[in-house]
């Protein structure tokens, strides 16, 4: 069975600082990997996704993520955080079915200090 682990429940950064959110997956084959963001009271919005090819993927809002097979990781990064990035971030994987049922990590809450 697939699993996704986000080791950090809560991260606090200062505005303008760099950000890295960790994600590790467990799956026999190469999974399809996603990062979603959820602002309070909102649904999930896709930031980026990886399924093959270049291991560094670019997303919306200046985010990027790097797939590292050797570490079973798909960490999300942003060089300079804005106050509006404060939200909860979810890493997710799909695979093993034909239709992309998502398995989510527990989420990381990001707080941004001015």
Task: Report yes or no: 33 and 103 within 8 Å, Cβ to Cβ.
Answer: no
**Torsion sign across C-alpha atoms 82, 85, 90, 95:** negative
Choose among 44, 106, 108, 53: nearest CA to 76: 108
Shortest gap between Cβ of 86 and another protein (angstroms)? 18
- The least distance separating another protein from the CB of residue 17, rounded to whole angstroms, comes to 27
Smaller CB separation from another protein, 19 or 102? 102
Q: Which residues bind another protein (CB under 8 A)?
A: 32, 36, 41-46, 49, 51, 90, 92, 94-95, 97-107
Pick 15 or 24: Cβ nearer another protein: 24
- The residue among 70 and 97 lying less far from another protein, judged by its C-beta, is 97
Question: Shortest distance, CB of residue 11 to another protein, whole angstroms?
Answer: 17
Of 65 and 105, which CB lies nearer to another protein in the complex structure? 105
Q: Tokens 């606090």 identify what position?
A: 12
Where do we find the tokens 């404060």? 86
Query: CA 51, 93, 64, 62 torsion: positive or negative?
Result: positive
């Amino acid at each position: 069975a697939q699993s996704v682990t986000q080791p950090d429940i809560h991260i606090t950064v200062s505005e303008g600082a760099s950000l890295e959110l960790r994600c590790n997956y467990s799956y026999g084959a190469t999974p399809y990997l996603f990062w979603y963001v959820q602002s309070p009271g909102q649904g999930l919005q896709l930031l980026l996704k990886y399924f093959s090819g270049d291991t560094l993927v670019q997303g919306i809002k200046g985010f990027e993520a790097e797939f590292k097979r050797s570490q079973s990781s798909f960490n999300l990064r942003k060089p300079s955080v804005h106050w509006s990035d404060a939200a909860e971030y979810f890493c997710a994987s799909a695979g093993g079915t034909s239709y992309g049922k998502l398995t989510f990590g527990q989420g990381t809450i990001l707080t941004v200090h001015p």
